[in-house]
Amino acid sequence: MTVREIRIVPDPVLRTPCDPITSITPSVESLVRDLLDTVDDPGRAGVSANQIGVNLCAFSYNINGKLGYLLNPKVLELKGEQYGDEGCLSLPGLWFKTKRANYAKVEGINLKGEKVVLEGEGLMARMLQHETDHLIGHVYIDRLEKEERRAAMRYLRTHDIQPK
């Protein structure tokens, strides 16, 4: 079991778009095991590969006791709206109301190279959007509305965290 250290803002890997996985190799299989071990901790809904320092398109999730992963995810559909508290392991202690779609449908592949579709509402939808954002170099504070973003930036400054 390998629980990997979470990279914290302003680590540049968090702002770098991840590379697609072009073949399933032993190192990709090891990455998935590490992602699953790392997300399997109370209070963790998702972990993207770049959050553990690997610049590949992969994430793991732990929603309602169900563990899983997805490689090369692409958002297919977003519907509705939710506005609720969101946090991030890469921004510890920071929780702000964030607008997201209430339903998300994402497609990717598994370790066998087979197509996988994940979809859900509420927390599942929020996690799918949050983790796919990570893989394109975004953190959730990028999506905050004006007042929340201002408060988040103030928090980061007062805690000597310098976002890019």
Q: What 3-state DSSP class applies to 45?
A: coil
Contacts of residue 111, defined as CB under 8 A and 6 or more positions apart, other chains included, come to: 24, 28, 29, 32, 71
Catalytic residue among 29, 114, 131, 145: 131
**CATH assignment, 12-158:** 3.90.45.10
Contacts of residue 41, defined as CB under 8 A and 6 or more positions apart, other chains included, come to: 3, 62
pTM of the predicted model as reported, rounded to 2 decimal places: 0.93
Question: Is the pLDDT confidence value at 149 over 90?
Answer: no
What does the alpha-carbon distance between residue 9 and residue 11 come to, in Å, rounded to a whole number? 5
**Helix/strand/coil percent split, the chain, to 5:** 30, 30, 35
Report residue 156's pLDDT band, with 50, 70 and 90 as the boundaries.
Answer: confident
Q: Are strands 103-109 and 115-121 parallel, antiparallel or unpaired?
A: antiparallel
Cβ pair 2, 33 in contact under 8 A: yes
More confident: 55 or 151: 55
The mean pLDDT of 70-74, rounded to a whole number, is 98
**Among this protein's residues, is 114 annotated catalytic?**
no
The mean pLDDT of 104-133, rounded to a whole number, is 98
**Residue 164: its pLDDT value, please?**
45
